Structure 1
Amino acid sequence: MFQRFISKQLARPSGLFGRLFTARWLEKANAGMNRLTIEGLALGAHDRLLEVGFGSGCLLEMVLANNLCSSIAGVDVSREMIQHVSGRLRRYIEEGKAEIRYGDIESLPYGNGEFSKLCSVNTLYFWHDPRVALAECLRVLGVGGRLTLCFNAKADLAQWPGHVYGFTLYELSQVEEMLAAAGFSAIEVMSRNDPGQGLYYCVTGTAA
């Protein structure tokens, strides 16, 4: 029961547990993945970044605090995380540099070509239909826009018993093939291996 509960919290943090525990745990656990994702995005002063499934908001805050791009937006399916991150980034929201919305990667609440960079960390396992999700990513990115996905290696994540509750695990080659099939080119891969997360990948593609 506990493994099932934690798996649901990781997919969609909710309630008091989501606010007080899941957000803090995600920030600590995803620290290395967030740093590698920012490296993969190769942000510039004129970029507009969208993060899908922003969790605690740590990655977005790092980008804003270091002035890595012109503005950011975040979309998440968790109302608790939206409330949490809206408070965390209040100053940037009031300055017009940040926007936080409810939304799902398979139906992004933005128009065509609104972003030059898009990222998502540790959410791939929960996508209902990766083809639809990647088509949406391609739609909201302008031509030449950059998508970066960060996720745990299948063999490592499969060792955690909770993965059987709602996770779909992917080999690196499967993710590369999915991006190519969706219309992304110049696909690049970076990887890291650390004690907390094990082996993880950041796969980056350019919107054609």
Structure 2
Amino acid sequence: MSKLSLSDLSKQLSKPEGKTGIEVAKQMSESNFTMIESAYKHLNITPSDEVLELGHGNASYLSKLREQYGNFKFYGLEVSNLMVEQAKLNEFLNCEFECFDGEILPLSDQSFEKVTTSNTIYFWREPKKLISEVLRILKPSGIFSISFADKEFMKTLPFTQDNFQLYSVDEVCALFKNEFELLNSCTQVEEVKSKAGDLVLRTFHTLSFKPKV
């Protein structure tokens, strides 16, 4: 990947743009697969499911997920027009990709049973507003899963000083507590190549929630 300043790398991770954004997205899709896979595992997907993912990047990992779960219907929302374009290049069947503003979901009430996101919470401008939107479009029996890197681990990365809001498990649970009930929580550690090119041990968490009755 081209050499970037820490500030530019931070911006590209939050919203990939241009030729460099394509390179960054390719690396993200590869290095984040275990986190994405964990979030999907928490959804208990069947081949007949419709899944909404927020912040899907280039979505190249979908082929691996469909090997595990079958040809489920996929609907993706992205803040990056470039990532929507790149995702469409995969020519996956049974998929739709669309841009959104990062806050308002362009979807009708109670339209999805299963919603997920990985490595996006750091960039949510108004977390509680987006969480309320997820609640609105989620069916009463639905599940929302989220994977994110551990706060203390993220603090050690030089590019997280700008554009990133870091969270612990307790802090994420606090964001959801008024509208959602925690179903499951797990923590994993894996060796990955960082965006700066170094091998690091990354601790990450996956939480799943259901709407409060």
**TM-score under structure 1 normalisation?**
0.91
| Distance across 1 between alignment mates of 2:108 and 2:41 | 26
Q: Which of these residues, 52, 60, 63, is aligned with residue 62 of structure 2?
A: 60
Aligned to 2:187: 191
CA RMSD of aligned residues (A): 1.6
Aligned partners of 1:48 and 1:69 also within 8 Å = no
| Distance across 2 between alignment mates of 1:58 and 1:179 | 29
| Correspondence list, 1:1-208, <5 A | 2-19=5-22, 21-68=23-70, 70-88=72-90, 90-92=91-93, 97-181=94-178, 183-196=179-192, 198-208=202-212
Aligned partners of 1:191 and 1:199 also within 8 Å = yes
Distance 1:116 1:102, change over 3 A: same
| Distance across 2 between alignment mates of 1:126 and 1:42 | 26
Deviation at 1:66, TM superposition (A): 4.3
Deviation at 1:45, TM superposition (A): 3.4
Deviation at 1:56, TM superposition (A): 2.0
Aligned partners of 1:43 and 1:69 also within 8 Å = no
Aligned partners of 2:45 and 2:69 also within 8 Å = no
The amino acid that maps onto 1:9 is Q
Q: Secondary structure at the match of 2:42?
A: helix
Deviation at 1:162, TM superposition (A): 1.1
Aligned partners of 1:55 and 1:76 also within 8 Å = yes
| Distance across 2 between alignment mates of 1:190 and 1:69 | 26
Higher helix share: 1
Aligned partners of 1:47 and 1:115 also within 8 Å = no
| Distance across 2 between alignment mates of 1:63 and 1:207 | 25
Deviation at 1:98, TM superposition (A): 1.1
| Distance across 2 between alignment mates of 1:12 and 1:205 | 26
4+ aligned runs moved over 6 Å, structure 1? none
Task: Tell me the alpha carbon deviations over residues 96-131 of structure 1, each in whole angstroms, 9 at most, x when there is no partner.
Answer: x21100113411111111111011110000001110
| Distance across 2 between alignment mates of 1:65 and 1:163 | 33
Aligned partners of 1:125 and 1:169 also within 8 Å = yes
The amino acid that maps onto 2:172 is V
Aligned to 2:197: none
| Distance across 1 between alignment mates of 2:63 and 2:76 | 11
Distance 1:186 1:204, change over 3 A: same
Deviation at 1:59, TM superposition (A): 4.2
Task: Tell me the alpha carbon deviations over residues 34-86 of structure 1, each in whole angstroms, 9 at most, x when there is no partner.
Answer: 11111111112332100000012034343445454641100001111110101
Deviation at 1:24, TM superposition (A): 1.2
Distance 1:44 1:104, change over 3 A: farther
Aligned partners of 2:46 and 2:69 also within 8 Å = no
Q: Unaligned stretches of 5+ in structure 1?
A: none
Paired residues in the alignment total 201
Aligned partners of 1:40 and 1:148 also within 8 Å = yes
Distance 1:22 1:73, change over 3 A: same
